[in-house]
Amino acid sequence: MAAIEINFDGLPGPTHNYSGLAEGNLASERHKSLASNPRQAALQGLAKMKALADRGFVQAMLPPHERPDVAALRALGFSGDDAQVLSGAARSAPQLLAACSSAAAMWVANAATVSPSADTADGRAHFTPANLVSHFHRSLEAPTTTRVLRAIFADDRHFTVHDALPSVPQFGDEGAANHTRFAAAAGAPGIELFVYGRAGFDTAAHAPRRFPARQTREASEAVARRHALAPERTLYAQQHPDAIDAGVFHNDVVAVGSGSVLFCHERAFVEQETVLRALRDSVGASFTPLVVSEREVSLQRAVATYLFNSQLLARADGGMVLVAPAECREDAAVSTLLDRLVSDGGPIREVLTFDLRQSMQNGGGPACLRLRVALTAAERKAVPARIWLDERLHAELVAWVAKHYRDRLAPADLADPALLDESRRALDELSRLLRLGSVYPFQRV
Ligand code: SUG
C-alpha cells in the first residue's frame, strides 16, 4: 500500500524564549536575551500548518513539552517547593533556569529519526528518538518525545518506537535534521541518507574547528541497524566542516531532499561529487540534484536566510512546492534564485514563504519545525491520537493558544511561578484535546 509523507509540525510552547543556548547556531547566539512572544510563535506555526493543510497536504502536529522542567532543576540540586526551585535557580544559575525553560522541543526535525515501513526488514515504521546530547537544554527532550511518539504510534503491529541511543557524545544524535529519505516512486522502498558531522570514536578525522559537530557517524549507523534498513539502500555522508563552522549546525540548514530531488548548497558535504554519484546510483535515473553554487548564493547568505531549511512537498500533479522562510524574499540574491528555480522548468513549480520569525530568531525554519513520517492508510488509521490538523482542530488550537499563552516573555519572567502553572494548565488541556493520555511528568506523579 502506498504511503504518503506527512509533516508533523511541532508547536512552540508557552515558554518560548531567547536564551542564546545553542553554540554554533548563529541566530540563537544573536538573539540572546531578546523578549519573545510565545503566542505569536505558536500562531505563526499554526498558520503554516493550516495553509499547507488547506492546499491538500496531510498535516499533523506534535505538542510542546512541560517547561520549566522542574524535575531537571531538582536533579541539579535545587530544592523546596516548585516556586523555590525556580527562584533558587534564577538567583544562582540563571543559565540553568533558561536551559530548563527552553521551548526547543518545537523543532521536531530533531525529535527522532523515522524509517517508514517500506524501508525496514520487519515492515514496521521505526522511530528512534534523538538523544540531543550536544546541548543540555535539548537533551531534556528525549523522555517526553519518547512518551509522545509511543502514545501516537502505539500500535505495535505497525510501529516500533525505540529508546534513544546512549546519551554520550560518541553517540550524539540529532534526529531527522541529519537524515533524508529519497524514493523514486510513492510506496517504493526508499534510499535513506544519514549525514553526520564527525566520528564519535575517531576524533582526529575531519572535524570543524569553530563550532561543535552534533551528529556522529556511529549514532547514524546505530539508528540504521536498529531500523533494520537494507545496507544497499542506506548511504552515509559527512557534513562539510566549513559548513558547520559557517553556522550549519544541522544538515537541514544546507540541504533538503524528497522524492528524487536534492536541493543543496555546493558546500554541503565532504566529497560532494561522490555523494551525488552514490545517490544517483541508488535513487536511479530520476535523481535530480539542484545544487546552488557559492557564486549564486554564498553559504553565509544561505545560513542567514535559511534558504535550504525549506520543505519540499510533492503536489498531486507531480510538481513540487518549496516552503521557505519569509526571509528568503528579503535577500535579492536568494529571491532571484527562487524565481529561477520556478522558471527553469525543474521539479520546483512553486515557492511559498511563511513568516516564522519567532522560531527563526532561534535558528528554526520551516524544515526544523516538522518531522516527516511516511504512513500508509492502514498505519494512519492505527493512530489513536487526534493529531491530524483539520479546520476544527486548527480553530481549537488557535483558541487554546489565545487562552493560555503570553504575548511577551523576558528572561526574568522564567522564574515566575505563575508561568509554570499556566504552562501546566495549558498542556493538561492540550493532552486531552489531542487524546494523548498522560504524557507529561506533572500528570504522572
Ligand atoms: O538546536 N535552537 C535550536 C534550533 C534547532 C533547529 N532545528 C533544525 N535545524 N532542525 C538548536 O540549535 C535555541 C534556543 C535558545 O537559544 O533559547 C535552540 O535551541
Atom from ligand 1 closest to the CA of residue 367: 10
Atom from ligand 1 closest to the CA of residue 98: 17
Question: If you measure from the C-alpha of residue 194 to the centroid of ligand 1, how many angstroms do you get, rounded to a whole number?
Answer: 20
Question: If you measure from the C-alpha of residue 135 to the centroid of ligand 1, how many angstroms do you get, rounded to a whole number?
Answer: 10
Whether pLDDT at 265 is above 80: yes
Determine whether the shortest distance from the Cβ of 175 to ligand 1 is under 6 A: no
Percent of the chain having pLDDT more than 70? 99
**Sign of the torsion angle spanned by Cα atoms 212, 218, 219, 220:** positive
Q: Residue 52 and residue 37: Cα distance in Å, rounded?
A: 23
pLDDT per residue as tens digits for the range 125-151: 999 999 999 999 999 999 999 999 999
The pLDDT of 42-66, averaged and rounded, is: 98
In the structure, what pLDDT confidence band is assigned to residue 445 with cuts at 50, 70 and 90? confident
Residue 77 lies in a domain: no
Question: If you measure from the C-alpha of residue 202 to the centroid of ligand 1, how many angstroms do you get, rounded to a whole number?
Answer: 26
Whether pLDDT at 1 is above 80: no
Whether pLDDT at 153 is above 90: yes
> By alpha-carbon position, which residue is closest to atom 8 of ligand 1?
368
Atom from ligand 1 closest to the CA of residue 32: 16
Q: What is the CB neighbour count within 10 angstroms for residue 20?
A: 18
Question: If you measure from the C-alpha of residue 310 to the centroid of ligand 1, how many angstroms do you get, rounded to a whole number?
Answer: 16
Determine whether the shortest distance from the Cβ of 364 to ligand 1 is under 6 A: yes
Question: If you measure from the C-alpha of residue 253 to the centroid of ligand 1, how many angstroms do you get, rounded to a whole number?
Answer: 11
pLDDT per residue as tens digits for the range 362-395: 999 999 999 999 999 999 999 999 999 999 999 9
Percent of the chain having pLDDT more than 90? 96
Residue 72 lies in a domain: no
- Hey, which of 107, 195, 211 would you mutate to test ligand 1's pocket, going by the most ligand atoms within 8 Å of its Cβ? 107
Determine whether the shortest distance from the Cβ of 19 to ligand 1 is under 6 A: yes
Determine whether the shortest distance from the Cβ of 102 to ligand 1 is under 6 A: yes
Atom from ligand 1 closest to the CA of residue 29: 16
Question: If you measure from the C-alpha of residue 169 to the centroid of ligand 1, how many angstroms do you get, rounded to a whole number?
Answer: 18
Question: If you measure from the C-alpha of residue 128 to the centroid of ligand 1, how many angstroms do you get, rounded to a whole number?
Answer: 19
Determine whether the shortest distance from the Cβ of 18 to ligand 1 is under 6 A: yes
pLDDT score at 205: 66
Q: Residue 40 and residue 439: Cα distance in Å, rounded?
A: 25
> By alpha-carbon position, which residue is closest to atom 10 of ligand 1?
368
pLDDT per residue as tens digits for the range 405-418: 999 999 999 999 99
Q: What are the cell numbers at 247?
A: 553556522
Determine whether the shortest distance from the Cβ of 177 to ligand 1 is under 6 A: yes
- Hey, which of 23, 249, 369 would you mutate to test ligand 1's pocket, going by the most ligand atoms within 8 Å of its Cβ? 249
Q: Which residues are catalytic?
A: 174, 250, 368
Residue 76 lies in a domain: no
Determine whether the shortest distance from the Cβ of 22 to ligand 1 is under 6 A: yes
- What is the total count of domains within the chain? 1
Question: CATH number for the domain including 51?
Answer: 3.75.10.20
The pLDDT of 182-194, averaged and rounded, is: 91
Residue 422 lies in a domain: yes
pLDDT per residue as tens digits for the range 287-312: 999 999 999 999 999 999 999 999 99
Residue 87 lies in a domain: no
The pLDDT of 47-68, averaged and rounded, is: 98
Determine whether the shortest distance from the Cβ of 216 to ligand 1 is under 6 A: no
Residue 94 lies in a domain: no
pLDDT score at 202: 78
Question: For residue 121, what are the β-bridge partners?
Answer: none
Question: If you measure from the C-alpha of residue 313 to the centroid of ligand 1, how many angstroms do you get, rounded to a whole number?
Answer: 23
Determine whether the shortest distance from the Cβ of 65 to ligand 1 is under 6 A: no
Q: Look up the domain containing 164 and give its range.
A: 4-67+102-443
In the structure, what pLDDT confidence band is assigned to residue 155 with cuts at 50, 70 and 90? very high
Residue 361 lies in a domain: yes
Whether pLDDT at 283 is above 90: yes
Residue 411 lies in a domain: yes
Query: What are the residues whose beta carbons fall under 8 Å from the beta carbon of 377, sequence distance 6 or more?
Result: 1
Determine whether the shortest distance from the Cβ of 104 to ligand 1 is under 6 A: yes
Determine whether the shortest distance from the Cβ of 267 to ligand 1 is under 6 A: no
pLDDT score at 128: 99
Whether pLDDT at 186 is above 80: no
pLDDT per residue as tens digits for the range 190-239: 999 999 999 999 766 678 889 999 999 999 999 999 999 999 999 999 99
Whether pLDDT at 346 is above 90: yes
